[in-house]
């Protein structure tokens, strides 16, 4: 399994997609979202939400649906994300 990830942001929500191994060694797609402004490794774990999906096209579609749901569900967090530049990560 390649150790690569895909990251981006949309409307104050940052996201990261990466390959992961499941409990029985199966390939999974791990998706994590967190509020801007800080990078993945600078953001405290308690501010991150993570879900895992099957590795493949269906899993990518499920991850996108999950991220869209998170975008709607936590709209206030993402809208106010840019105001946190002066906070310690």
pLDDT tens-digit map of 3-27: 589 999 999 999 999 999 988 989 9
pLDDT tens-digit map of 60-77: 999 999 999 999 999 999
pTM, full prediction: 0.87
Distance CA 67, CA 73 (A): 10
Average pLDDT of the chain is 90
Torsion of CA 45, 49, 52, 55, to 10 degrees: -90
């Amino acid at each position: 399994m390649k150790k690569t990830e895909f990251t981006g942001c949309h409307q104050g929500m940052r996201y990261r997609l990466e390959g992961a191994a499941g409990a029985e060694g199966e390939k999974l797609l791990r998706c994590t979202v967190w509020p801007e402004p800080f990078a993945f490794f600078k953001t405290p774990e308690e501010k991150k939400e993570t879900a895992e999906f099957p590795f493949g096209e269906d899993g990518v579609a499920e991850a996108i649906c999950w991220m869209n749901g998170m975008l709607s569900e936590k709209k206030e967090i993402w809208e106010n994300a840019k105001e946190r530049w002066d906070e310690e990560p």
